[in-house]
Amino acid sequence: MKRPPTLGRAVDRGLAPFRGRRAAHLLPRTRLGGPVPWVIAIMTALTVLAVGGALALSNLAASARGELAGSATVQILEADPDLRAEQTQRVAALLRQDASVEAVRIVPESEIAALLEPWLGTGEAIEAVPLPALIDLQLAAGSGEAQLEALEGRIAAAAPSARIDAQEAWLAPVLEALNSLRYMAFALIALLAFTGAAAVWLAARNALDGNRDTIEIVHLLGGSDEQVARVFQRSILFDALAGGVLGLALGTGAILLVASRFAALDSGMVAGGTLLPTDWAIVALVPLFAVGIAVYTARMTVLSSLRKML
């Protein structure tokens, strides 16, 4: 809106109060009295929880891959205990001589019994079941499917009842499930960002409609759309900051609560999903992104609406 040249200096002086905190009173709004701060707090808390979950799942998957990369287990399913023991020693010696194998460990029978105890129990119940012999091995760096297939052929010649399983192969479905959950978390983050922007858009439109008369007077005095937009930006900035801090506190509390429940499981695999200091830094940035999205959305909404309004 172009103002008359004769009113230039007078308007500049008259609009001096239309800046900063004094300008915000022209478009009154009670802090934390409207829905926007609470909506932003809820969106931020859910986003913090989703980001924390996605990072924890990424750490868990990376830890599992790192621990099981190149790992394999040889099972000897011979029922005769003497023959099973003989085949176990023969296969272990064969593996130790193979250049593609870095480490070999024969799993003690007591350890196998402890692993099966939740299903078979103890005492006579487990003694009645012939336990397989297990040999854990670690392939050398760079070894893959070809080396495993070659080992399988040599092991079969030494112990016909033996078979070799790559631990990473049977864990693949678990890793795929973790990746699916992580992608769902990222999709939830995007959806929450869109929902928060939509809430700010609605709030800005309602505020414009409620202050239409004041805005028209400001324009008649020579005020620009940019000045009006700054007033709304300032208002939404404080609302978004308040909501973001509250949401961060709620989301962080939820993450710590869930983490304590998983820590009680005392599982080595679950321990790999612990959040690192860099992960917490990323979580702490969530409110800043929420504030940025809110302020930008408010600004674009106000400027777009003012062009149509006047």
pLDDT digits (tens, 9 = 90+) for 231-245: 777 778 888 898 899
Least confident of 24-33, 46-55, 154-163: 24-33
- pLDDT at position 44 is 92
Does the domain at residues 78-160 carry the CATH identifier 3.30.70? yes
Torsional class of 218: left (φ above 0), alpha (ψ -120 to 50), beta (otherwise): alpha
The pLDDT of 105-133, averaged and rounded, is 71
Average model confidence (pLDDT) for the chain? 76
The rounded distance, in Å, linking the Cα atoms of 135 and 157 is: 16
The pLDDT of 218-225, averaged and rounded, is 65
The pLDDT of 198-222, averaged and rounded, is 73
The pLDDT of 87-107, averaged and rounded, is 84
Task: Indicate the length of the chain as a whole number.
Answer: 310
pTM: 0.69
> Angle formed by the axes of helices 286-309 and 35-68, to 10°?
140
Strand (E) or helix (H) holding 102 = strand 101-106
The rounded distance, in Å, linking the Cα atoms of 240 and 229 is: 16
Check pLDDT > 70 for residue 120: no
Strand (E) or helix (H) holding 133 = strand 133-139
- pLDDT at position 126 is 56
- The secondary structure of 203-215, three-state, reads HHHHHHHHCHHHH
Residue 51's closest CA among 248, 295, 265? 248
Residue range(s) occupied by CATH 3.30.70 in the chain: 78-160
- pLDDT at position 4 is 43
The pLDDT of 71-98, averaged and rounded, is 83
